[in-house]
Amino acid sequence: MRPLSPLSHLILLQLLCGCLSSRCPHDCTCLPNNNIFCVQRNLIYMPRGLPSTGKQLYVFQNKINILQQQDFVELGELEMLDLSQNSLSEIPDGVFSPLSSLHNLDLSSNYITHISKDSFIGLVNLERLYLYSNIIQNIHPAAFEGLENLLELKLQGNQISVLPALQLPRLLHLDLSYNSIPPLVAQDLQTPHLESLKIAGLGLTSLDEELLGSLVNLHVLDVSQNQLVDIQPTLKSMGGLRNLNLTGNPLGSLKHEDFQNLVNLLELDLSNLNLQGFPEGFFNLFPKLEKLTAAENPFNCLCPLAWFPAWLKDVRVELLRTEETRCHFPPINSGKVLEKLEHKDFGCPTTTIELTSAGTSSTTSKPKNSSTQLGTTHIVPPAPPSDISSADADNFPVYQTTAFPSRIMEDSEGEGIMCPPNICLNGGTCIFKSNGVIVCLCPPSMSGNYCEIQNEAMLPPPSPRVSLETIATVQPNTISSHHITSTSISLDLHRYIQTRPHIRGIRLTYSNLSGPDRRPLQLSVPPSYPEYTLRGLQPNSTYSVCASPLGEPVHASVSACMEARTAGIPPSSHEPSVDRTEPSSSLTPIVVAVAVVMVVAIIATVVVISRRRRPKAPVDMDLHETSPLEMEGVKTNPENGLTHPKQPDITPCSSLAPNSLEYDVLLIQGQGQCPANNNIDCTKALYV
C-alpha cells in the first residue's frame, strides 16, 4: 500500500477540522448560513461545543445567570450575539474580549445593575450595544472608551442617575428615555454625528439650547412625556428634523410660528396634548408629511375641523392610532372616530346660490316659509334672537322636529353669521354670537347648553341598539378576537407575534368601557401563546384591549388596540320555569312552617272552646282514670307497642278537672268500642 502524499494529508486534515467545527450541541440548532439558535431551552450556562465558524448566535429567552470568558474563546468569528431576556446580573470584566469581530451585542431585558470600566474591553469593532430594560444604576465614566466604531447605544428603561460623558465620534442613535438622569447639557454628548436622540420621560421642563445647537445632523427627536410648556427657539430652527415626537407635554395650543421652519418633517406625533382641534392650514407647513399621530386628544368635531378628514385623504397622510383618535364634543359626535366622519357630520351650514338684482351671489340658505327643502321640517322657524324679547323667549313653543335648516342669525351689528344646523337638540334655536360663541335657546321643557336635558319626568324611550360582538376593525399587524362569550374574549395574537419575532413577551392591557370602573388591568403573556383568553369579564360590556411589547416602557411602546363587546347572559335551558306570581322557592319552607303553626293553633282553640261549651253530665266516679296516652289519641297495642292512628281517638269518659270543669266531645262521627278496661261508650272525633 502506497503511503499518502503530503497533499492528501492536508486534505484529510481540513476535512477533519471541518467536521469538528461543524458540530452542534443538542440544545441548539445550527443552520448552513452560520446562524446558531439556542432559544427557549432553559439554559443556565452558555452552551459549549458550538461551531467555531458561527457568525450569529441567538441565546435569548433562557435562564443564563453567569458568563465566563472561556464561553467565547472558540467563537472568534462571531459577529452577532443575542443574550437578551436572560437572568444576567453583571458583566464580568473582559468576558467579551475574545470576540474582536463582534458587531452587535444585545444584553437587553436582564437584571444588570452596573457597568464597569472593562465590561466591554476588546470589542473594538462593536457597532450596536443594547442595554435597555435592565436595572442599571451606575456606569463607569470609562465604560465606553475604546468603542470607537459604536453607531447605536440604547440605555432606555433603566435607573441611571448619572450619565457619563459620551465621547463617541461615530454614534448615530442614542436612546436615554425613562431614566433618572438630570437635564442634558452640551458637554454630556460629544457626538457630532448624532442623527437620532430619544430623551422621553426624563421630566424635562426645557431643552439646553447649546446642546440642540451642537446636534446639526439630528433627524429624529423624541421629547415625549416631559414637562415642556413651549417650543424653544433652537427647536424651531431645526429644519433638518424628519421625525418629531411631542406626546404628553403641556404645550397648550399649536402655533404656526413654532413649526414654520420644520418643512422636512416626515413623521409628527401630537398625541395627548389636550388639543381640541388644529388651526386651519396648520399642516400645510409640512409638505413632506407622511405619518401623523394625534391620539388621546379631546377633539371638538364641529365645522372648524371639517376639513381634517378630507385633508388626510387628499394628501395621503397616514393617521396612526386611528381608533384612539376620537371626538369628544359635541354629544352627537362624542366617541366617533375622527377619520371616519364625513363633512355633513360636523354641522356645517349649507351654501346655496341665490339670484339677486345685483347679480348672482353665494349665501347661506335661510328658510322664509313653511315649505323648506332637504331634511328640514314643515314648520315656520322662530324669529331671529334679536327680534325675540325675554318675555317671548319664556313662551317659546315646543317644536317636534328632528332637524333644523341652516339659518342666518343677525347679531347686534346686523352682520349675517352662519349657525351650524343640528347643534341645538330637541327643538332648540341656535344663536351664533359675533365672538364665535354658540348659544342655544331651549323650549321650556328642555335645558342644558345644547337643550339635551329634558326637564319633565318622562323621558323618551331610548332607541334600540344592536349588540355587536366586535366593534373595532382589525387592521394588519394588530390583534383580533375570534370567540366571545358573556364572560370571556379569546384573542388572536398570531399576526402581532409574527411581526415582532424578538419580543420578550406581550403586555395585555384591558379595561371595561361600559362600567363605572375603567381602570386598566395588565397581563403578561409569553410569545409562545399566540392565542389567549381573557376571562372573568362582565357580560354585555365593551372592553378595550391593547397589546404592547413586554420589557419596553408603556409610554414608549406602540400598542395595537381593539375593542370587543361581551355577549349577554342567555337563559339556562335546564332551569325549571318559575311562576313569577308565586312566592320564591327560598320562602317556601317559611310559608309551610307558618301554615302548620296556624293550623295547630286553630285546632287547639276549637277544642278548648268546644269542651268549655259542652253541657254538664253525671260523672261516674267509679270509672277508671283515662291514661295520658289515650288522652293524646294514642292507643296501646300489647303486641306492637304504641301506634299512631290516622285519626286520633278521643274518649268521652273524662274525669273532672281540679276546678270542676267538664269537657265536651267535638264532632261525634261514629261509635266505637272502648278498650277492654273501659265499660263506657267512646266516640271518635274528627278534626277538620
User: Long-range contacts made by residues 334-341, C-beta under 8 angstroms, separation at least 24?
Assistant: 336/301, 338/299, 338/301, 338/305, 338/308, 338/309, 339/309, 339/312, 340/309, 341/301, 341/309
Q: Please state the rounded mean pLDDT for residues 344-350.
A: 86
pLDDT at position 659, please?
43
Res 568: pLDDT: 79
Q: How many Å apart are CA 517 and CA 523, to the nearest integer? A: 18
Least confident window among 404-413, 593-602, 603-612: 404-413
The pLDDT confidence band at residue 555, using thresholds 50, 70 and 90, is low
Superfamily of domain 480-566: Immunoglobulins (2.60.40.10)
Between 321 and 612, the higher pLDDT residue = 321
- Structural contact between residues 212 and 192, judged by C-beta atoms closer than 8 angstroms: no
Average predicted confidence (pLDDT) for the chain:
75
Q: Is the pLDDT of residue 483 over 60?
A: yes
Taking CA atoms, 640 is separated from 476, 626, 637, 643, 645, in Å, by 88, 21, 6, 8, 13
Evaluate if residue 537 carries a pLDDT over 70: yes
Three-state secondary structure call for residue 604: helix
CATH number among 2.10.25.10, 2.40.30.10, 3.40.50.720, 3.20.20.70, domain 421-452: 2.10.25.10
Model confidence pLDDT, tens digit, residues 380-405: 344 344 343 333 434 433 333 333 33
Q: Which residues contact 684 (CB under 8 A, 6 or more apart)?
A: 647, 649, 650, 668, 669, 670, 672
C-alpha to C-alpha distance for 513 and 566, rounded to whole angstroms: 11
Average pLDDT estimate for 530-546: 88
Average pLDDT over residues 435-460: 68
Check residue 540 and give its pLDDT: 86
| Structure confidence at residue 407 (pLDDT) | 36
* Residue whose C-alpha cell reads 359626535 in the numeric block: 333
More confident: 1 or 567? 567
Greater model confidence, 89 or 624: 89
- Exposed/middle/buried for 666, CB within 10 Å: 0-12, 13-18, 19+? buried
Give the residue from 88, 194, 205, 189 showing the smallest Cα distance to 144.
189
**pLDDT-based confidence at 442, cuts 50/70/90?**
confident
Which H helix or E strand runs over 211? helix 209-214
Compute the distance between CA of residue 620 and CA of residue 626 in angstroms, rounded to an integer. Answer: 12
Q: Write out pLDDT tens, residues 510-527.
A: 889 887 788 888 888 888
348/406: higher pLDDT: 348
Q: Which residue has the higher pLDDT, 642 or 119?
A: 119
Domain with CATH 2.60.40.10 in the chain: 480-566
Q: What is the pLDDT of residues 311-338, one digit of tens each?
A: 998 988 999 999 999 999 999 999 999 9
Q: How far apart (Å, rounded) are the C-alpha atoms in residues 426 and 383?
A: 17
> How many residues are present in the chain?
688
Cα 485 from Cα 466, distance rounded (Å): 16
* Helix and strand totals (H; E) in the chain: 9, 40
Q: Please give the grid coordinates belonging to residue 72.
A: 467565547
- At residue 400, the pLDDT reads 35
Percent pLDDT > 90 in the chain is: 42
176-190, 214-228, 472-486, 588-602, range with the lowest pLDDT: 472-486
pLDDT of 203 strictly over 80: yes
DSSP string, 353-422: EEEETTEEEEEE----SS---TT--SSPPPPPGGG--HHHHHTPPPP--S----EEEE-TT--EEEE-TT
Tell how strand 351-356 and strand 359-364 pair up.
Answer: antiparallel
Greater confidence (379 vs 42) lies with 42
Most confident segment among 148-162, 402-416, 639-653: 148-162
Per-residue pLDDT band for 504 (boundaries 50, 70, 90) equals confident
Give whichever of 333-347, 418-432, 644-658 has the largest mean pLDDT.
333-347
Q: How confident is the model at residue 581 (pLDDT cuts 50, 70, 90)?
A: very low
Flag whether pLDDT at 506 surpasses 80. yes
Instruction: Please tell me the pTM assigned to this model.
Output: 0.53
Tell me the sheet residues that pair with 481.
491
Q: Is the pLDDT of residue 536 over 70?
A: yes
**The CATH fold of domain 22-181:** 3.80.10
Q: For residue 237, which phi and psi values (nearest 5 degrees)?
A: -95, 5
Predicted local confidence at residue 421, as pLDDT: 60
**The pairing of beta strand 152-154 with beta strand 128-130:** parallel
Classified as helix, coil or strand, 175 is: strand
Residues of the chain with CATH 3.80.10.10: 22-181
Portions of the chain given CATH number 2.10.25.10: 421-452
Neighbours of 354 (CB within 10 A): 11
Nearest Cα to 545, choosing from 506, 505, 502? Answer: 506
Residue 7: what are its φ and ψ, rounded to 5°? -65, -40
Place of cell 306570581: 581
Per residue in 8-18, pLDDT (tens digit) is: 443 444 444 44
Give the model's pLDDT for residue 291.
95
CB 530 within 8 A of CB 518: no
Report CA Rg, the chain.
44
User: DSSP letter string over 630-675?
Assistant: HHTT-EEETTTEEE--SS-EE-S-PPPPTT----PPPSEEEEEPPP
Q: Could you check whether the bond before residue 330 is cis, i.e. omega within 30 degrees of 0? A: yes
For residue 151, is pLDDT > 70?
Answer: yes
pLDDT over threshold 90, residue 95: yes
Angle at 491 between CA 490 and CA 497, to 5 degrees: 150
Yes or no: say if 551 and 524 are a contact pair by the CB < 8 Å rule: no
What is the predicted pLDDT for the residue at 351? 59
Amino acid at 545: V
Instruction: State the Cα–Cα distance between residues 86 and 558, nearest whole angstrom.
Output: 24
What is the pLDDT at residue 553?
Answer: 66
Least confident of 228-232, 288-292, 331-335, 381-385: 381-385
Interval 220-244 mean pLDDT: 92
Residue type, 261: N
Q: What is the pLDDT of residue 636?
A: 43
The confidence band for 64, taking pLDDT boundaries of 50, 70 and 90, is: very high
**Is pLDDT larger for residue 449 or for residue 556?**
449
